[in-house]
Each structure stands twice: as C-alpha cells, then as structure tokens.
Amino acid sequence: MPEKYFEDGLWTKQVGSGDDPEPHKKYGWMRTISNHIHFRNEEEKFIYDTNAFLSFSLSRSIALSFIGGTKNRPFDASVRESADAFLFTFNFEDSDLQEIGDGVYTFEYTCNYGRGSTDPDFYSFIGSFCRCNICENFPGYRHKLLLIDAEEFLSGVQDDFPEEHLKAYWDKEWLLLPADPMMDPSGIGFQSKIAIADFWAIEFFKYTG
C-alpha cells in the first residue's frame, strides 16, 4: 500500500503474506535474492511476492519505465490527490554506506515522523498522530537498512545465475531490506518497513491513457 507512506513509511510485500517471517532463512539468501530479481515459475513468484526486499534502480528513466508498465501506458506528473502512481527516490552518500560484503552495505538513519509538519507531500491528518514504534521506546535509535547492489552481488556467481545477473545489469537494480528489530518480544525477524525519514522522497504521476 504505497499510498499509506505518509502514515508509517514504506511497507514491503511481506506484510500479511502468510509466509515465513524470515524467508532468507527458509529459502536461503541466494534463492531469495535471485527470485526477487527474476522468477520463472509460480514457486519462485511466491518468494518474490512475499519477501521483504524493495527494488530500486540507479537510473531514473528505468524507474519511470516501470510506471508505464509492460503496456507502456502514458503518464504525466501529478499532485498527490489525483495520483495513480508513485515514484520513491532515495538519496545516499557513499560515505553513509558501510560495506560488509561484495555489493552488500548497511545504512543507518534517523526517522522523522514529524515530516508532515514541514513537507506537504507527507502531511495527513491521520499521519500527524503516527509515531515511530521504536523511537517512542528508545529515543535516539538509529534505524537500519541492508542494501544490495544486485549486479555486483551476483557478479561472482553469474555462471550460476546468468539471467538474474543480466537483468540486474539492465535494470541497474539495488535491493533494500529493512533491518529494524520487532518490538513485540514474540516477534520474529525484522520489521517490514522503511520508516519516514529525510533521505527519501516521493513524486506523483497520473495515467493519461
């Protein structure tokens, strides 16, 4: 539900999926990542539909092409109230990323649930009452993301995943995985959202045909 971004950030498809809360443990990291990049059958599509990765492209033109979809629907910039589609953009400095493996990075950030008071794109009456469920209990907490440069990550195993590596190259694809802990003591895995913060923004578009 991307249209709910102003209430509690960006939610992944894992929310309400009914699958294992830690698909990377159930299926393995390589299978989860490769199936998110490219799936060939219903089983692989299920993994794609239920994992917690969010895909982004380094290329704005490629990202916009996904709004047009396979039918290449025409669209124009819009305002929030009449938007049919959303483009979320992220702004990272290289110095903000901590490399922990080939093509794998961590990023820490501070949330900003008061953003709606200064940014009309994030304002809503309901959103004005929303608070971070972590920072309410742990003031000053630094949220965490796992970022994967898909092409670089697969470069060492491209003989085993040639189609996935080629697609990652074409799409200039990066994967983002929210890595904040669950607050419920019985919770398993990570929270499935990227909190409202200043490092990401949104643009609105409306289909014209």
Q: What is the pLDDT of residues 91-111, one digit of tens each?
A: 988 899 999 999 999 999 999
How far is Cα of residue 123 from the mean position of the Cα atoms in its chain? 21
Quick check: 181 pLDDT over 60?
yes
Residue 54 to residues 1, 81, 161, Cα–Cα distance (Å)? 13, 24, 20
Residue 10 to residues 71, 161, 166, 181, Cα–Cα distance (Å)? 26, 29, 27, 16
What integer pLDDT is reported at residue 20 of this predicted model?
60
What integer pLDDT is reported at residue 27 of this predicted model?
81
Helix (H), strand (E) at residue 136: none
How far apart CA 77 and CA 86 sit, in angstroms, is 10
CB 42 within 8 A of CB 51: no
Q: Which residue has the higher pLDDT, 22 or 134?
A: 134
User: What average pLDDT does the segment 180-201 reach?
Assistant: 84
CB 21 within 8 A of CB 145: no
> 187: which 2 tokens?
């919770």
> 114: which 2 tokens?
């008061």
Quick check: 83 pLDDT over 60?
yes
Beta bridge partners of 143: 109
Both ends of the chain: CA-CA distance in Å? 23
CB 197 within 8 A of CB 112: yes
How far apart CA 138 and CA 110 sit, in angstroms, is 12
The average confidence (pLDDT) of the chain is 89
> 179: which 2 tokens?
């890595």
